[in-house]
Amino acid sequence: MNSLGKIISINKDLYTVMVDDSVFPCSVRGKLRNFKLTVGDNVVINTNTLTIEEVKERKNTLIRPLISNIDKLFIVVSTHIPRFSTYLLDKFLVLSEVNNIEPVIIITKLDICDKSEVKEIKNVLKYYKKLGYKVYTNKQIRKIKKEMKGCVVSLAGQTGAGKSTLLNKCDKSLNLKTGEVSEHLGRGKHTTRLVELISFNDSLIADTPGFSSLELDMSLETISSGFKEFGFNCKYSSCTHVKNDGCNVIERVNNGKILKSRYESYLKLIGR
Ligand SMILES: Nc1nc2c(ncn2[C@@H]2O[C@H](COP(=O)(O)OP(=O)(O)OP(=O)(O)O)[C@@H](O)[C@H]2O)c(=O)[nH]1
Ligand SMILES: [Mg+2]
Ligand SMILES: [Zn+2]
């Protein structure tokens, strides 16, 4: 019998496929052998032969870790060890925007962050809220669980940011391994290694390794489109916002309408 399911983990040639509440260990056959299936793929399986027969079109795919069909990206941002980085945050936001994934920003380690620094960070985050992004702290578990409901969610964020810790707070029985952050390096050691979708709270969640080597392999136009406040009303239709000759974006950076660090992230992402 054929059933529609979702790949929740891949280990070498073994594909674990979830159909409703059951899990089937499957292999791949025929022409699909040459196709790189990913966690999150919606597939048709034959429940007698335990083979994947067909893969459905994806709505998006993230690479490193490889995962498809994400509804929401929980961007976990540490305020202290590893240090708060608007650049990383902006990078993940661009990644979400261009892949049509709703981003949710979750701030961690406020308890060990300097009070004055917390104030500064909260001020910066006001700008993101004004852009329409949801921002929570990792203490707001009830709200975060509500965000998950009915969704396929991937976590993203630096190693050591507190992704696994956050999921453990959502559900103790998950018992995900969390790691010590090296004080010296200010970063973790990739405690989470495998990518798999975990089913809980009426949602599917991927706790991911830290995306430490996240590269945005995108064109300048695509990166630019990921900064939603930039808009398209510049002097030139194909403005790259790097020359100060009437560029609307630069003007808005100069008069404080666009957060300076956002613009700096943009320049860094396009290699300027
Ligand atoms: N003080 C404090 N420590 C935290 C918080 N969140 C996480 N930690 C600690 O930070 C360390 C790293 O947390 P993890 O949850 O393993 O980080 P991760 O993002 O899953 O890291 P990788 O799996 O390597 O990507 C652990 O020692 C946690 O206990 C927080 O809000 N406050
Ligand atoms: Mg982890
Ligand atoms: Zn411009």
For the chain, the domains span 2-55, 61-207, 220-269
Fold of 220-269: Ribonucleotide Reductase Protein R1; domain 1 (1.10.40)
Instruction: Check residue 191 and give its pLDDT.
Output: 58
Distance CA 74, CA 104 (A): 5
Work out the pLDDT band at 209, boundaries 50, 70, 90.
confident
The token duo for 38 is 């990913």
Global pTM?
Answer: 0.93
Work out the pLDDT band at 72, boundaries 50, 70, 90.
very high
Q: Which of 79, 121, 165, 195 has most ligand 1 atoms within 8 Å of CB, for mutation?
A: 165
Does the pLDDT of residue 251 top 70, yes or no?
A: yes
Average of per-residue pLDDT across 99-123:
97
**Whole-number average pLDDT of the chain:** 90
CATH architecture assigned to 61-207: 3-Layer(aba) Sandwich (3.40)
Residues with CB under 6 Å of ligand 1 are 108-109, 111-112, 138, 157, 159-165, 178-181, 188, 190-192, 209-210
Going by alpha carbons, the residue nearest to atom 14 of ligand 1 is 162
CA of 18 to the centre of ligand 2 (A): 23
The CATH number fitting domain 2-55, selected from 2.40.50.140, 2.120.10.30, 3.40.50.300, 2.40.37.10: 2.40.50.140
Q: Which of 136, 178, 212 has most ligand 1 atoms within 8 Å of CB, for mutation?
A: 178
